[in-house]
């Protein structure tokens, strides 16, 4: 048991047996009861256990017993973010403390209270001695919370990491957290901080340089080319980066996730910058137009490549007609740009906010009012970025 927990008061000082026993009785009653029983249980749970648990954590924090989660650097899970914000007095926690306390309590509630009460209720309804079962369950609950013990195998569903797409698990000993991931053999291993470059770069060759840019080209033959990314977790930052790389390599399409924004296309010094600005951009930076945002993507394809994809199913003449009609129908949503044929260098991130914050290059001047989401250059760019805390990256 960690040393920090030895000086704190028992959880029983915050959550007396009488409150637990009533909660257990209400839990059993609601199994065969109606809406009123459920409301009574929920109200008592909130007024007693939930409040007690959060008050107890606040005491631990005041005593300096709660620390950030080792290995969580460079990762982003809802629970990890809430815990670390609480442990470090992050401004988001200082401004909205209740939401963090609630999220932490919610993560641990199944293991500490819900599962023990469910098992106790089953034993009691089968004829077990209610007083003995209730007291035994309560004593174990108090001991586990006072000692700050939580096994990664205890039943909580883990914390989804929005960066890697992995489900990570929290283990506690003396209220000292450890971050674990499940291996193929179902055992757990502790993980370290994730250090990765926030900017990804790939090379992409254009044959003609006649570019069409919009959110997505929803022609059936083109949409079918996205089938291959269904096995990639595009809910994660790394998964979105892998989808960009796969579509570029396998399909000759550049398509980046943008979030809920309609991007503008600008050019300067042999580079295209995709982003947005609240003010008009003037001077040497040329504005080409704004793309649609019916889906949260920005997609670049050569007109010739678009015709090629459709022609594989319909033949060249029919494909030319289909593409021409499509471009005419969506002319307001599609930006056409001419670049030099050859290899271009594409800089992007699976999280556009990471890109905006990290992208700096002495080789390219971007108007200070323009927030870049990704950049394509006719030459390699020197990047001046700061890596964030590449351990093992999951592959599709």
What percent of the chain is modeled with pLDDT above 70?
94
| pLDDT in the model for residue 151 | 87
Round the average pLDDT of the chain to a whole number and report it: 90
**Structure tokens given for 107:** 């993560």
Edge-to-edge strands, sheet with 159-160: 159-160, 167-173, 176-182, 188-190
| pLDDT in the model for residue 129 | 97
- Global pTM reads 0.85
Q: Which residue has the higher pLDDT, 372 or 6?
A: 372
CB 99 within 8 A of CB 43: no
pLDDT digits (tens, 9 = 90+) for 103-160: 888 888 888 999 999 999 999 999 999 999 999 999 999 999 999 998 887 766 789 9
Range of weakest confidence among 99-103, 240-244, 247-251, 270-274: 99-103
| pLDDT in the model for residue 385 | 59
Residues paired with residue 181 on neighbouring β-strands, in sequence order: 168, 189
pLDDT digits (tens, 9 = 90+) for 77-95: 999 999 999 999 988 788 8
Place of tokens 């556009």: 352
Helical ranges in 89-181 per DSSP H: 91-95, 97-109, 115-125, 130-147
| pLDDT in the model for residue 5 | 41
pLDDT digits (tens, 9 = 90+) for 48-78: 999 999 999 999 999 999 999 999 999 999 9
pLDDT digits (tens, 9 = 90+) for 303-343: 999 999 999 999 999 999 999 999 999 989 999 999 999 99
User: 379 falls in which pLDDT band (50, 70, 90)?
Assistant: very high
Beta strand 188-190 with 176-182 is antiparallel
CA dist., res. 108 & res. 5, Å (int): 17
CB 155 within 8 A of CB 353: no
Beta strand 254-257 with 286-290 is unpaired
Please check the confidence at residue 2 and state whether its pLDDT lies above 80: no
What is the maximal distance between C-alpha atoms in the chain?
A: 83
Range of weakest confidence among 7-11, 167-171, 265-269: 7-11
| pLDDT in the model for residue 54 | 93
Question: How confident is the model over 164-192, as a mean pLDDT?
Answer: 92
| pLDDT in the model for residue 1 | 41
| pLDDT in the model for residue 156 | 66
Beta strand 271-276 with 264-268 is antiparallel
User: 186 falls in which pLDDT band (50, 70, 90)?
Assistant: confident
Q: Look at residues 256, 285, 289, 269 and name the one whose alpha carbon lies nearest to residue 356.
A: 256
What are the structural domain ranges in the chain?
3-190, 200-377
| pLDDT in the model for residue 45 | 95
User: 98 falls in which pLDDT band (50, 70, 90)?
Assistant: confident
pLDDT digits (tens, 9 = 90+) for 24-51: 999 999 987 788 899 999 999 999 999 9
pLDDT digits (tens, 9 = 90+) for 262-301: 899 999 999 999 999 888 887 889 999 999 889 999 999 9
DSSP assigned state of 112: I
């Amino acid at each position: 048991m960690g040393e920090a927990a030895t000086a704190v008061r028992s959880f029983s000082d915050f959550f007396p047996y009488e409150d637990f026993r009533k909660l257990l009785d209400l839990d059993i009653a609601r199994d065969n009861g109606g809406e009123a029983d459920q409301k009574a249980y929920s109200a008592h749970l909130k007024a007693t256990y939930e409040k007690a648990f959060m008050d107890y954590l606040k005491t631990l924090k005041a005593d300096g017993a709660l620390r950030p989660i080792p290995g969580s650097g460079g990762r982003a899970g809802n629970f990890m973010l809430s815990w670390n914000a609480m442990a470090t007095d992050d401004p988001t926690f200082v401004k909205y403390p209740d939401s963090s306390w609630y999220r932490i309590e919610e993560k641990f509630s199944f293991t500490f209270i819900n599962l023990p009460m469910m098992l106790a209720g089953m034993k009691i309804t089968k004829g077990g001695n209610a007083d003995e079962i209730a007291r035994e369950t309560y004593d174990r609950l108090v001991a586990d919370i006072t000692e700050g013990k939580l096994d990664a195998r205890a039943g909580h569903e883990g914390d989804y990491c929005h960066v890697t797409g992995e489900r990570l698990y929290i283990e506690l000993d003396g209220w000292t957290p450890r971050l674990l991931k499940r291996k193929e053999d179902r055992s757990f291993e502790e993980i370290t901080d994730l250090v990765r470059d926030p900017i990804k770069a790939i090379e992409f060759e254009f044959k003609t340089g006649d570019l069409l840019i919009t959110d997505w080209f929803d022609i059936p033959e083109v949409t079918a080319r996205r089938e291959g990314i269904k096995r990639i977790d595009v809910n994660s930052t790394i998964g979105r980066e892998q989808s960009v790389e796969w579509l570029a390599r396998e399909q000759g399409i550049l398509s980046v996730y943008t979030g809920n924004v309609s991007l503008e296309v600008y050019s300067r010094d042999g580079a295209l910058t995709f982003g947005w600005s609240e003010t008009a951009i003037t001077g040497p930076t040329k504005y080409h137009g704004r793309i649609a945002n019916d889906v949260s993507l920005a997609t670049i394809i050569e007109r010739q490549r678009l015709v090629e994809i459709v022609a594989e199913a319909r033949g060249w003449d029919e494909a030319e007609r289909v593409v021409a009609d499509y471009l005419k129908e969506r002319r307001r949503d599609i930006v056409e740009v001419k670049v030099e044929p050859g290899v271009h260098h594409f800089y992007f991130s699976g999280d556009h906010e990471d890109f905006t914050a990290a992208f700096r290059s002495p080789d390219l001047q971007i108007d200070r009012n323009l927030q870049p989401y990704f950049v394509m250059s006719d030459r390699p760019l020197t990047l001046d970025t700061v890596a964030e805390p590449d351990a093992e990256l999951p592959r599709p």
